[in-house]
């Protein structure tokens, strides 16, 4: 039973980790705390619902269109309309703007799709796979596999491409990167696009597990908790924090009560921060270029 709870927690934790990675990338590059990350995830679920279920497109075409639409939202709404005009403003102003944007996106979702919850069918079989005493559906296996593929792809992108290296340099120092010829505003735009696409992909994976509604983005705040738990600004920390958070929630729901999951999230966060205030993989305040 314990192994089953842990396995189920890893599945949910993978989704938290994907959204937390996008959250962390945006913070590292722009020093902006994206409190509308949950709404990016919510839009991803609604986009795939529209293309796949309502418009009856083939799933893979619907997925490509969903990620493309999410990237467009990331560039036009998050970067050009909200973030770029406030890039030199105090962080509090940017946080308030993004909190306001989260409310606006929820309202837009209600206007377009209504307040009713939708069931998002999955194209993947829910037939369980037997792993010893544990059960894992094919859909859950795809979630874990997709997360691993995305993480590996991001690692390759950051370390083996010029654009990825430029993004890492910008995260270290905007001024130094600009002096080395990096187009910093372009890096900001690309970061918002990638971060929004990752969050939307998390919504695509989460949609079949839950009902799709305008308030499902509230779950995205758990990815913020995962990012803080792992170490704010650390991508490995975001991954580990998301998985640990998913496991903790499932253990509490399995052995105690499901309504204590949220409380357990913050207990875990406080316990880790009490021991290590910077989180498990907290980045040093010293920066190198």
Residue 289 has pLDDT above 60, yes or no: no
Between 125-139, 175-189, 210-224, 231-245, the lowest mean confidence (pLDDT) is in 125-139
Length of the chain: 289
Q: What is the pTM of this model?
A: 0.90
Q: pLDDT of 104-121, one tens digit each? A: 999 999 999 998 999 999
Q: Which residues lie closer than 8 Å to 159 by C-beta, 6 or more apart?
A: 165
Residue 81 dihedral angles phi and psi, to the nearest 5°: -85, -40
Domain assignments of the chain as residue spans, ordered by start: 19-220
Q: Token pair of 9, please?
A: 């927690």
Give yes or no for residue 55 having a pLDDT over 90: yes
Q: Which residues pair with 129 in a beta bridge?
A: 136
């Amino acid at each position: 039973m314990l192994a089953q709870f842990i396995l189920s927690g890893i599945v949910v934790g993978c989704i938290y980790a994907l959204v937390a990675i996008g959250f962390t990338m945006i913070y590292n590059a722009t020093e902006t705390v994206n409190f509308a990350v949950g709404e990016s995830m919510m839009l991803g679920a609604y986009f795939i619902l529209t293309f796949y279920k309502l418009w009856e497109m083939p799933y893979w075409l619907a997925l490509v269109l969903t990620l493309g639409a999410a990237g467009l939202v990331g560039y036009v709404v998050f970067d050009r309309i909200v973030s770029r005009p406030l890039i030199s403003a105090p962080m509090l102003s940017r946080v308030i703007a993004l909190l306001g944007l989260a409310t606006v996106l929820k309202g837009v979702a209600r206007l377009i799709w209504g307040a009713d919850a939708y069931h998002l069918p999955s194209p993947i079989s829910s037939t369980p796979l037997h792993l010893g005493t544990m059960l894992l559906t094919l859909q859950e296996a795809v979630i874990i596999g997709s997360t691993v593929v995305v993480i590996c792809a991001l690692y390759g992108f950051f370390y083996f491409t010029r654009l990825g290296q430029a993004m890492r340099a910008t995260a270290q120092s905007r001024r130094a990167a600009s002096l080395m010829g990096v187009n910093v505003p372009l890096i900001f735009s690309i970061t918002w696009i990638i971060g929004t696409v990752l969050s939307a992909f998390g919504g695509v994976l989460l949609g079949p597990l839950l009902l799709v509604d305008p308030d499902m983005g509230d779950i995205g705040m758990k990815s913020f908790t995962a990012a803080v738990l792992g170490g704010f600004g650390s991508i490995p920390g975001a991954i580990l924090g998301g998985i640990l958070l998913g496991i903790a929630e499932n253990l509490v729901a399995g052995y105690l009560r499901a309504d204590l999951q949220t409380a357990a999230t913050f207990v875990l966060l406080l316990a880790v921060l009490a021991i290590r205030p910077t989180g498990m993989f907290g980045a040093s305040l010293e920066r190198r270029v």
